[in-house]
Amino acid sequence: MPKVLLFHGGGPTAVLNASLAGAISTFQEKGWQVYASPFGIAKLLDHDPVPVPLLGRNETQMLVRSPGSAIGSGRDHLEDEDYVRLAQRLISLGFSAVSGAGGNGTMDTVQKLSKACSRYGITVTGIPKTMDNDLSITDHSPGFLSAALYMAASVREVLYDIHSLPIHVVVIEAFGRNAGWITASSALAGDDVKGPDLILPPEIPFDEDAFLSGVEEAYSRKGGVCVVASEGLKYRDGKPVVEPVFKTDRSVYFGDVSAKLSQLVTQKLNIKSRSEKPGLLSRASIAWQSRRDAEEAFQCGRISAIAACSGRNGEMSIIIREREKPYAARVEMKPIGKDILRERTLPASYISREDFCMTDEFFNYMNPLFDAERLGSFMTFV
């Protein structure tokens, strides 16, 4: 009976376990023994893999609806010699295939590991995962729709709060180091109570004077103001608006951008302001897990497993949009290229610099993805 090793890399998402469920159930249906490398592939160098129990239908459904990573994830840095050691360890343990889920960095790991394992006949495949939506070779990434839904729904609720008591400016901070997809998704919050008033993605250099002018204009016009800003906001010279509090390799932990902007509003404009930072809540929420996101994540895990069983190496599953209305997509495998570390940022055509909002092109991209989601209908009389 062939053996496969599964691993996760980077931060979890609301649907990472849905991809895991798709992979596990497919491998087990095909008669493979499934193992996991807890807390990342690097741990295999010093620790033994753990067997994954046989999943029934109820367990599979429970896994799809579980936050975090059921097998643990990691961010360990690997050197060239580590890939050779990993390949040798895999063959000594009798593995025929490996499948890893993650973002740009993890797919780079999958590519390098696939080359090291090719001499031993071990196939290595990848499963896309990132709430930041910055993988360059897929229409969108599993994890993004759930994070976008959480952000849009949460901002929508805050807009009603601000509309009810329009006395202050609220600055909400969104995940997204260099790519503003989550920040931009807040634009989907506006309905009968419009907003947010200013959206600040990291692709646009932060201009303090323009920001304060925009806030002042919105406040004088309507009272309560909602601002959504990226954690990775930078000045024109590339300097972060708030210096990172911790940095390792590709991981950056930023300070409180929302607090900094909120203080600017109070100090410079003498307007009451407060900051909000959902942080991990935006990637850990199962309550706002997107149904479409979970379905596509499951299929990405399933297709990657099928490819591994058939001996395809150095490829990852991707989502290809086939139709806008009604939305339809397919999942297929694609070789992982050398440019996998290139982050996919918001196109300039999606951003209205002068108005601090998103353009019709952005909504044309997002609306088909959200046509199956419901943010809820609320009531107001004023």
The answer to whether residue 377 sits within a structural domain is no
The tokens describing 98, both together, are 């490996």
- 117 and 91 in a single domain? The answer is yes
- 96 and 199 in a single domain? The answer is no
Whether residue 11 contacts residue 282, with contact meaning beta carbons closer than 8 Å, is answered with: no
pTM listed for this prediction:
0.95
The answer to whether residue 138 sits within a structural domain is no
Distances (CA, A) of 8 to 87, 91, 103, 230, 271: 17, 20, 10, 25, 45
The answer to whether residue 378 sits within a structural domain is no
- 281 and 302 in a single domain? The answer is no
Range of the domain at 52: 3-130+290-341
- 187 and 278 in a single domain? The answer is yes
Residue with tokens 């497993």: 305
- 227 and 361 in a single domain? The answer is yes
- 24 and 126 in a single domain? The answer is yes
Whether residue 219 contacts residue 272, with contact meaning beta carbons closer than 8 Å, is answered with: no
- Residues in the chain, total: 382
- 281 and 300 in a single domain? The answer is no
Instruction: Supply the pLDDT for residue 249.
Output: 62
Q: The CATH number of the domain where 117 resides is what? A: 3.40.50.450
- 83 and 28 in a single domain? The answer is yes
Question: How far apart are alpha carbons 210 and 179 in whole angstroms?
Answer: 21
Annotate the chain with three-state secondary structure.
CCEEEEEEECCCCCCHHHHHHHHHHHHHHCCCEEEECCCCHHHHHCCCCEECCCCCHHHHHHHHCCCCCCCCEECCCCCHHHHHHHHHHHHHCCCCEEEEEECHHHHHHHHHHHHHHHHHCCEEEEEECCCCCCCCCCCCCCCHHHHHHHHHHHHHHHHHHHHHCCCCEEEEEECCCCCCHHHHHHHHHCCCCCCCCEEECCCCCCCHHHHHHHHHHHHHHHCCEEEEEECCCECCCCCECCCCCEEECCEEECCCHHHHHHHHHHHHHCCCEEEECCCCHHHHCCCCCCHHHHHHHHHHHHHHHHHHHCCCCCEEEEEEEEECCCCEEEEEEEECCHHHHCCCCCCHHHEECCCCEECHHHHHHHHHHHCCCCCCCCCCCC
Whether residue 98 contacts residue 7, with contact meaning beta carbons closer than 8 Å, is answered with: yes
Compute the CA torsion angle 299, 300, 306, 309 (nearest 10 deg). Answer: -150
Question: How far apart are alpha carbons 109 and 86 in whole angstroms?
Answer: 11
- 149 and 79 in a single domain? The answer is no
Backbone phi, psi, residue 96, to 5°: -105, -20
Structurally, how many domains does the chain consist of? 2
The tokens describing 39, both together, are 């807390």
pLDDT digits (tens, 9 = 90+) for 325-340: 899 999 999 999 988 8
Residue with tokens 């608006």: 241
- 100 and 207 in a single domain? The answer is no
The answer to whether residue 192 sits within a structural domain is yes
> CB neighbours of 267 closer than 8 A, spacing ≥ 6?
none
Question: How far apart are alpha carbons 141 and 127 in whole angstroms?
Answer: 10
What parts of the chain have a pLDDT lower than 70?
A: 247-251
Whether residue 171 contacts residue 219, with contact meaning beta carbons closer than 8 Å, is answered with: no
Whether residue 13 contacts residue 147, with contact meaning beta carbons closer than 8 Å, is answered with: yes
Q: The CATH number of the domain where 364 resides is what? A: 3.40.50.460
- 110 and 234 in a single domain? The answer is no
